[in-house]
Amino acid sequence: MRAAALFAIAFAAAHPAAAPPAAGQPAAEWAAAAGPTPGPARAIGSTALGCLAGGVALPPEGPGWQAVRLSRNRHWGHPELLRFVESFAESTRARGFPDLWIGDLAQPRGGPMPWGHASHQTGLDVDIWLDLSPKPPAGPATRGARESIEVPSLVLPGEAGVDPARWTRRHAELLRLAAQHPSVDRVLVNHAIKRELCRTHAGEEWLRRVRPWRGHDSHAHIRLSCPADSPDCVPAPPVPTGDGCDASLEWWLSEAARRPSPRPPGPPPRLPAACAALLRGGG
């Protein structure tokens, strides 16, 4: 079997394109939970099939960052994720980057979302917009405007490459800093962005953790490793060795890559039992 075909099979197994509906509580019930459960923070299950106990809310803004679309109530995470946002923004600010726009984290109790993301279920994922333009001053007066920001794609139509009119070395630097953060497991970006990074940074160690994906042409999806305090957190499959600048990247330009992955046979996957109790719990 050709390497590309093998890759496609392994890829489909590890990354269902859209999460099949999980058995048990529908996503709408998870979205309706207004607040977190009390008690210590725990990430439970995997980021595509899990939930979050003791979630904490990201503040609307802090030094070097501003959260967007707060009305979605998806700015909850494991404390490790909040520490990541704060320390990452501190490091980018120190390097002269403008404030970063922080997109969705998780719902107050994590769990599946009715729309928008297949993962982001355990409070360990955050979307950071790849917009390096100067931002309006942070504060209550500008939070409303942050509900409706639009960020243009960095990738050309057809996804053959990045848009040279928009992509800059500073975007690459931002992704390098994220991938080098000790809490980060991987950074998902559009495959065209990964190819561009391969062109300019091939062989660099951090590039291994920048993984190609569909979409993600105007934001990067950052996923943390399972925190030490969460024994029921299920880690993602290990990031392959090497910089990932190989034939597997070409698969993304194939017809197969443009089709959604077929749903695996068998019953829909079930959320961990602890999640059902968590959804019913007080808080």
Q: Which residues bind Zn ion (CB under 5 A)?
A: 127, 221
Whichever of 103 and 272 has its CB closer to Zn ion, that residue is: 103
CA distances from 89 to 84, 145, 194 (A): 8, 21, 22
Least spacing, CB of residue 139 vs Zn ion, in Å:
26
Give residue for tokens 């390096």: 132
Least spacing, CB of residue 84 vs Zn ion, in Å:
14
Least spacing, CB of residue 120 vs Zn ion, in Å:
6
Q: How far is CA 129 from the centre of its chain?
A: 11
Whichever of 127 and 196 has its CB closer to Zn ion, that residue is: 127
Least spacing, CB of residue 222 vs Zn ion, in Å:
8
Distance CA 154, CA 264 (A): 32
DSSP state of 72: G
Whichever of 128 and 275 has its CB closer to Zn ion, that residue is: 128
Distance CA 199, CA 213 (A): 17
- 105 burial (CB, 10 Å; 0-12 / 13-18 / 19+) is buried
**Cβ neighbour number for residue 40 with a 10 Å cutoff:** 10
Least spacing, CB of residue 240 vs Zn ion, in Å:
21
How are beta strands 42-46 and 219-224 bridged, if at all?
unpaired
At a CB cut-off of 8 Å and minimum separation 6, what does 154 contact?
130, 162, 163, 166, 167, 171, 190, 193, 217, 218
Residue 161 in contact with residue 62, Cβ under 8 Å? no
Phi-psi region of 210 (alpha: psi -120 to 50; beta: other; left: phi over 0): beta
Minimal CB distance to Zn ion: which residue? 221
Least spacing, CB of residue 116 vs Zn ion, in Å:
8
Whichever of 105 and 138 has its CB closer to Zn ion, that residue is: 105
Whichever of 47 and 92 has its CB closer to Zn ion, that residue is: 47
Whichever of 17 and 274 has its CB closer to Zn ion, that residue is: 17
Least spacing, CB of residue 38 vs Zn ion, in Å:
27
SS3 135: coil
Whichever of 37 and 43 has its CB closer to Zn ion, that residue is: 43
